[in-house]
Chains A and B, each alone.
Chain A
Amino acid sequence: MDGGTGTSTLRRLVVLVLAMLVALTLVACVTGTSSEEEPIEVTEVILASTTSTQDSGLFDVLEPAFEEAYPQYDIKIVAVGTGEALALGENKDADVLLVHAKASEEEFVAGGFGIERLDVMYNDFVIVGPADDPAEIGDAADLPATMQAIADAGAAGTAGWVSRGDDSGTHKKELQLWEAAQIAEPTPAANDWYESSGQGMGETLRIASEQQAYTLSDRATYLTQQDTLDLVISREGDVELLNEYGVIVVTDAKSQEGGQAFADWLLSEEGQQVVGEYGVDTFGEPLFTPNAK
Chain B
Amino acid sequence: MEIYVNAFREGVELLRSGGLDVWTIVFTSLRVSITAVVLSLGIGIPGGYLLGTRRSFGRHAGLVLANAGMGLPPVVVGLAVAMTLSRRGPLGDLSLLYSQPAMIIAQVIIAIPVVAAVTAAAVSSVPRELRLQARSLGASPMQEAWLTVRESRMGLVAAVAGGFGAIISEVGAVMMVGGNLAGETRVMTTAIVQYTRMGRFGAALALGSVLLLLIILVNVALTGMQTSAERWERS
Using CB atoms and an 8 Å cutoff, list the residues of chain A in contact with chain B.
51, 80-81, 83-88, 90-91, 165-167, 188-189, 195-200, 203, 207, 209-211, 230
Contacts and interface: CB of A to CB of B under 8 A. Distances in A.
Interface string B193-230: 01011111100000000000000000000000000000
Given A81-B199, A83-B198, A203-B179, A198 B184 contact: no
A207 B98 contact: yes
Contacts of B3: 90-91
B180 interface: yes
Contacts of A207: 98, 179, 181
A188 B86 CA distance: 22
Given A91-B3, A209-B87, A211-B98, A188 B199 contact: no
Interface string B163-206: 00000000000010001111110100011001011111100000
Highest count of chain B CB atoms <10 Å: which of A81, A83, A210: A210
B154 to A, nearest CB: 26
A86 B87 CA distance: 36
A51 B196 CA distance: 13
B97 interface: yes
B213 to A, nearest CB: 23
A166 B198 CA distance: 6
Main secondary structure of the interface of B (DSSP, over half): loop
A198 B182 contact: yes
B191 A198 contact: yes
A189 B25 CA distance: 13
B199 A84 contact: yes
Interface string B32-43: 000000000000
B84 to A, nearest CB: 13
A175 to B, nearest CB: 14
Contacts of A80: 197, 199
Contacts of B186: 198
A163 B26 CA distance: 22
B1 to A, nearest CB: 10
A25 B184 CA distance: 51
B86 A81 contact: no
Contacts of B198: 81, 83-84, 166-167, 198
Nearest to B96: A210
Q: List 3 tightest A-B contacts by C-beta distance, closest first.
A: A87-B199, A198-B194, A84-B199
Contacts of B200: 83
Contact of B180 (A81, A83, A167, A197): A197
Nearest to A189: B183
A84 B194 CA distance: 10
25 contacts: A51-B197, A81-B199, A83-B197, A84-B196, A84-B197, A84-B199, A88-B199, A165-B182, A166-B194, A166-B197, A195-B184, A196-B181, A198-B180, A198-B182, A198-B198, A200-B197, A207-B98, A207-B181, A210-B86, A210-B87, A210-B95, A210-B97, A210-B98, A230-B87, A230-B88
A90 to B, nearest CB: 8
Contacts of A200: 197
Interface in B81-95: 86-88, 95
A78 to B, nearest CB: 11
Contacts of B182: 165, 188-189, 195-198
A83 B87 CA distance: 32
Given A84-B199, A198-B191, A188 B183 contact: yes
A80 B3 CA distance: 18
A203 B185 CA distance: 14
A197 B199 contact: no
A86 B180 CA distance: 23
Nearest to A91: B3
A195 B181 contact: yes
Nearest to A84: B199
**Most B CB within 10 A of own CB, among A83, A197, A207:** A197
Contacts of A88: 199
A193 to B, nearest CB: 13
B98 to A, nearest CB: 6
Contacts of A209: 87
Nearest to A198: B194
A197 B197 contact: no
Nearest to B86: A210
Given A86-B199, A167-B198, A188 B87 contact: no
A54 to B, nearest CB: 12
A163 B222 CA distance: 40
Contacts of B197: 51, 80-81, 83-84, 166, 199-200
Nearest to B7: A87
B175 to A, nearest CB: 8
